[in-house]
Amino acid sequence: MTEISAITICPGSEVTMNFTLSLPDGTVADCTDENEPMTFTMGDGTLIEGLEMMLYGLKEGAKQCLSIDPVDAFGFPDEESIHMMPREEFDSSFKLEEGVIIEFTTPSGEAVPGTIKEITETEVKVDFNHPCAGFVVTFDVEILKIKPGQAQLDAIKNGDFIQADIGEDVPNKNEQH
């Protein structure tokens, strides 16, 4: 008989976690505050797919630290995402500095970050690639709480499977063989 264990993260699970996302030099690119963890539903687009894939199969209380290659994280820089913008488009009271990340609004109203790369008398070079593009990132997570997704709840309710320790589907012990 297979020993039943805690629910593991699967598609549709609601996950509450603390995390730190850092670059190879140790710079923290993003993190949660210990008192304000992040809660999201797997597959809702909150996390990029590569980071989300690293969470599947984890249980409440799990801590994991993973290095993720650019192809599975934020991709590689794209030269077409670097734009020269007229300097007059920037508020004159705002002090422009190379390396500063500014939030821009697209014509559709979407907020996107842009990194100031170069400043001349007439133009500003802005890089709209994700600031972590091209880097191996370290994703350090602690899973605080997992609520099963509706498909998982329905399967358990219908006796279709019981989730086992390694996250595999195991036939319900009440089924006839």
Decide if pLDDT at 29 tops 70. Answer: yes
pLDDT for res 67: 92
Dihedral pair phi/psi, residue 13, rounded to 5°: -65, 145
Decide if pLDDT at 177 tops 50. Answer: no
Decide if pLDDT at 172 tops 50. Answer: no
Task: Indicate the SS3 state at residue 145.
Answer: strand
**Among residues of the chain, what percentage have pLDDT more than 70?**
82
Strand partners, 123: 86
Decide if pLDDT at 61 tops 50. Answer: yes
- Is domain 79-127 classified as CATH 3.40.50.740? no
Mean pLDDT of all residues belonging to the chain: 84
- Is domain 14-74+133-170 classified as CATH 3.10.50.40? yes
Decide if pLDDT at 161 tops 90. Answer: no
Region 94-122: mean pLDDT is 91
Decide if pLDDT at 142 tops 70. Answer: yes
pLDDT for res 81: 95
Q: Could you state, in order of their start, the residue ranges of all structural domains in the chain? A: 14-74+133-170, 79-127
Decide if pLDDT at 1 tops 70. Answer: no
Decide if pLDDT at 65 tops 50. Answer: yes
Task: Indicate the SS3 state at residue 50.
Answer: helix
- The residue behind tokens 């603390």 is 18
- Per DSSP, which regions of the chain are E strands? 14-22, 28-31, 38-41, 63-68, 82-86, 101-105, 111-119, 123-127, 137-147, 162-163, 169-170
- The residue behind tokens 């993003």 is 30
Region 2-10: mean pLDDT is 65
